[in-house]
Amino acid sequence: MDYIMEEKFLAYLNEIYLLKQAVALLEYDSQTGMPESASDQRSEVISYLSGQIFHKEIHEQMPEFVAYFKENPEQLTEFGEKVFEKVLKNYDLNHKIPEDRYQLFVQTTAEAHHAWLKAREAKDFNFFAPYLSKIIELLQEFIPLWHTDQKTPYDVLLDQYEPGLTTEELDRVFGTLKEGILDIKAVLDKKESIDTSFLNRYVPKELQKKYVTYLVDELGYDFSRGKLDDTVHPFMLAINRNDARITTRWDEHDVSMALFGVIHEAGHGIYEQNIDPQYDKTPLSTGVSMGIHESQSLFYEILVGGNYAFWQYQYPKFQEMMDGIFDDIDLETFYQGINQVKASLIRIESDKLTYPLHIIIRYEIEKMIFNESIDIQEIPKIWADKYEEYLGIRPQNDLEGVLQDVHWSGGSFGYFPSYALGYMYAAQLYAAMNQEFSVPDALRTGNYDLIKQWLTEHIHQYGASKQPNELLLLATGQSLDPNYLIDYLKDLYLN
Amino acid sequence: MDYIMEEKFLAYLNEIYLLKQAVALLEYDSQTGMPESASDQRSEVISYLSGQIFHKEIHEQMPEFVAYFKENPEQLTEFGEKVFEKVLKNYDLNHKIPEDRYQLFVQTTAEAHHAWLKAREAKDFNFFAPYLSKIIELLQEFIPLWHTDQKTPYDVLLDQYEPGLTTEELDRVFGTLKEGILDIKAVLDKKESIDTSFLNRYVPKELQKKYVTYLVDELGYDFSRGKLDDTVHPFMLAINRNDARITTRWDEHDVSMALFGVIHEAGHGIYEQNIDPQYDKTPLSTGVSMGIHESQSLFYEILVGGNYAFWQYQYPKFQEMMDGIFDDIDLETFYQGINQVKASLIRIESDKLTYPLHIIIRYEIEKMIFNESIDIQEIPKIWADKYEEYLGIRPQNDLEGVLQDVHWSGGSFGYFPSYALGYMYAAQLYAAMNQEFSVPDALRTGNYDLIKQWLTEHIHQYGASKQPNELLLLATGQSLDPNYLIDYLKDLYLN
């Protein structure tokens, strides 16, 4: 058999992949270097090319390929089958969405983003509410078209970010997780908080950059296939696996921000850099889901970067490279400082313990929006009430509350749970890894290769060729269990 | 009349313009930030999108538009006419080139570039010669297809970079220019050379950057619609007029390199930033020709940056911002230093006087290749002989000689003359400007706006909506006259 159609199919997918690489760079640049005056022109380029991509994914030759391989599955190699499965899923999902409605959705999110910025300035949800309503209405229109066999409308959204995930499952794991965290928090609330002001000492950007560059290079981020740039809202973006870039912002009065920020993004980057080259030029050459991606960044940021053993090895180097700024701070104090718990109104400023509560709040509200059709106007109050209930603090305005995150303005509902999922995955992977070798021992001796190799073998290499739950099962022998994270947090905070 | 077809035509051109902006960023990034490991993937993206652009410029709906507006010119507004004229010229030029031959040409230049790099390492033209031959053969195949009414094959190539320019004209002006330069050189050769070693004092990159950024901002380069990045081979690239980026390399032991390099690129950038917004989204929103573009960069680099009056105002500021490094060097010595004449084998290291001789040598050889079909193997010897004859120095190997420039590996024959043309244009513009106000007085008082406004009024605003010779005539009242440059150089060196 000569698989001529598969060859044509792969060549067609490569065209999509080439366009996606261009869009990736256009987006990267717009957040790292582009003069702001050029933002209108840039949006126009990005939306034009994104339209081309959508068109190729759903129209042009795609319907023909889909029909052909459904009819003649034997015309696909084993590899081609995996690729087709992924393509088909996206096709099935989107081909029922009328192109003009999709365009309207894209346009609405662009407008909503502006409205969100305006609302933030005014600290007033009312500027944003009408646009949010429009987005939600459009999603409610799309959900029946996207729907395959999910039980509730919100399940349809969840599935797009974490294939196979359901509200039933999330209710269960988030229920357990919430309880576990609140128990730990109750104990900690009785303890006295420690002085962490040393973390606000002035550290010049160049010093910070030198150390953190050394560090993530040691951890396995390959600078010959990536780079570190400055930005406002840090992110990792892989144009392809040889060009997986990370970004950070620097605060010369908060050394921990860029330090853990860069470790986090490097975790994302290491994932992309180590996807099997066989998936090049196909939609499998990327992380499998938002949750699994976040598991890799959080593994490095928290399970590695928050680990006592890690700092046993690194702290003397850190002290040395910080030019004496932390010479009077001993390892114990530093370690306590970076792991301190303090409830925060802002998700991205949260500590390691209460972080999942921020996510659970968003999850509960999103579920209410799509499964219970609550009034949009009610959201700020619901939000504030939940923060008061779970975290014991209440936002004084919408900027500290419902307006803090960009996701909803982009129409990303069902995305937030990924953050907490990634955290739970990371803890479960950490436990599984410890079955094979002592991770603390590896950290204590700077043997980071061992860790990277394990993650590459069990996660990275597969790209998007397996389902998230399948990956987790293969790597850890179990499906998702929130108790790994709870145990890890107990160990971190109560021992 | 409602000009519906023109609207469609402009929308179609905008698609091409959007694709070109993407390619521009992909190329910019590949020379300023991309990890080298990603170069294969990047080439693939660029060549895919370039293919799309070529396809849209010549095929798809273009033949229909061309036929329609040729038949119905009254369906074009005055603005549409200008745009159509430009588009038609490109269409007429390229539509006879078979697409597979064009692809082969693109591929051959990519291979030739690699061969050129290899030849440079070996300092041996023989590694490059076979690829150069292939490129020349392909160009010789294209020339009859491109040909409209030019007299010689090389005229066909010249016209692509400087519309309207002929070998007859160039023979005339280069003849005069060569003679004028050699006369001045003969006088200078009898003078003693001065000590310029102070220009090699160590100056930290950050100091250099601070001054030169301040300086080009003063001169009128708008950083809010551009930026300055590091690179290996400096260039300016305008993604659009709100995003005209400049690049430089830094030598901490040669302060003049980045200083005049950045002024030069800023001159290009100021041009692009000041094109009339009415030409946005059309092929008129760019510089009109390589020669006119170079006239703007050289105007700033040499006519401004090499001007005594300019340094009368700037030198105290320069001294101050250089942290005392040049406190013992007086203005006179500095000025003599930056304008020193010393024949060089390498074009880009050349002084202000002998620079055009480098160009004239290349012009003469290119003309021999296309109009006299000389043997490619002979080029290194011809090159060396000409350097010995005109500049009195002879390359000891091919790296110092024929392999020094990248242009031929990219198939750019007919491009080199632009550099000398730009220089002559710049001197002629300088003379014309002096008719309206004293440029030295403006420089002596830091009144740079006056200069920028004059250049914008006479050159920048028009974008590519006029022919180069038409622009020059309008701006100076005369067609190209090399004596302006000769007079300027006499004034600079013999007074």
Chain A neighbors of B239, CB-CB under 8 A? 38, 41
* Mean pLDDT computed over B270-274: 98
Name the band, by pLDDT with cuts 50, 70 and 90, for residue B495.
confident
Low-confidence winner among A11-25, B148-162, B212-226 (lowest mean pLDDT): B148-162
- A390-409: b or e for each residue (b if 16 or more CB lie within 10 Å)? bbeeebeebbbbbbbbeebb
> A35 and B229 in contact by Cβ < 8 A?
no
Residue A346: left if φ>0, alpha if ψ -120 to 50, beta else—which one? beta
Residue B83 pLDDT greater than 70, yes or no: yes
Angle between helices B448-458 and B205-219 (to 10 degrees): 60
Name the band, by pLDDT with cuts 50, 70 and 90, for residue A50.
very high
Size of interface A-B (CB pairs under 8 A): 80
pLDDT of A107: 86
C-alpha–C-alpha distance, residues B316 and A246, integer Å: 42
Chain B neighbors of A223, CB-CB under 8 A? 35
Low-confidence winner among B147-151, B163-167, B455-459 (lowest mean pLDDT): B147-151
pLDDT of A416: 97
pLDDT of A1: 66
B15, B33, B38 member nearest A48 (Cβ): B15
Residue A16 pLDDT greater than 80, yes or no: yes
- Dihedral angle sign, alpha carbons of residues A146, A151, A153, A158: negative
Chain A neighbors of B37, CB-CB under 8 A? 224-225, 242-243
Q: Which of B14, B44, B46, B274 to mutate to test the interface with A (most CBs of A within 10 A)?
A: B44
Name the band, by pLDDT with cuts 50, 70 and 90, for residue A295.
very high
A332 in B contact zone (CB under 8 Å): no
> B242 and A49 in contact by Cβ < 8 A?
no
> A18 and B227 in contact by Cβ < 8 A?
no
A22 in B contact zone (CB under 8 Å): yes
**DSSP H or E stretch at residue B237:** strand B236-240
C-alpha count within 13 angstroms, C-beta hemisphere, residue A150? 25
> B22 and A22 in contact by Cβ < 8 A?
yes
pLDDT of A373: 86
| CB contact residues (below 8 A), chain A span 145-174, against chain B | none
- A414-431: b or e for each residue (b if 16 or more CB lie within 10 Å)? bbbbbbbbbbbbbbbbbb
**DSSP H or E stretch at residue A245:** strand A244-248
Per-residue pLDDT tens digits for A311-329: 999 999 999 999 999 999 9
C-alpha–C-alpha distance, residues B258 and B207, integer Å: 11
Residue A147 pLDDT greater than 90, yes or no: no
* pTM score: 0.93
pLDDT of B192: 86
Which amino acid makes up residue B376?
I
> A37 and B227 in contact by Cβ < 8 A?
no
DSSP string, A111-161: HHHHHHHHHHHHT-GGGTHHHHHHHHHHHHHHHHHH-SS-SSHHHHHHHHH
> A41 and B227 in contact by Cβ < 8 A?
no
Per-residue pLDDT tens digits for B222-260: 999 999 999 988 999 999 999 999 999 999 999 999 999
Chain A neighbors of B269, CB-CB under 8 A? none
| CB contact residues (below 8 A), chain A span 2-21, against chain B | 15, 18-19, 21
CA angle B313, B422, B18 (to 5 degrees): 100
> A225 and B38 in contact by Cβ < 8 A?
yes
Per-residue pLDDT tens digits for A349-395: 899 999 999 999 999 999 999 999 899 999 999 999 999 999 999 99
* Mean pLDDT computed over A90-116: 90
* Mean pLDDT computed over A149-177: 95
C-alpha distance from A251 to closest chain B C-alpha (Å): 21
B296 within 8 A of B268, measured Cβ to Cβ: yes
ipTM beyond cut 0.90: yes
Residue B376 pLDDT greater than 70, yes or no: yes
C-alpha count within 13 angstroms, C-beta hemisphere, residue A363? 25
Per-residue pLDDT tens digits for B13-62: 999 999 999 999 999 999 998 998 998 899 899 989 999 999 999 999 99
Q: Which of B6, B162, B265, B272 is catalytic?
A: B265
A48 in B contact zone (CB under 8 Å): yes
Compute the mean pLDDT over every residue in chain B, rounded to the nearest whole number.
96
A45 in B contact zone (CB under 8 Å): yes
C-alpha–C-alpha distance, residues B151 and B142, integer Å: 15
Contacts of B79 (CB under 8 A, 6+ apart): B278
Which amino acid makes up residue A212?
V
Beta carbons within 10 angstroms of residue B75's beta carbon? 17
Residue B1 pLDDT greater than 80, yes or no: no
A325 in B contact zone (CB under 8 Å): no
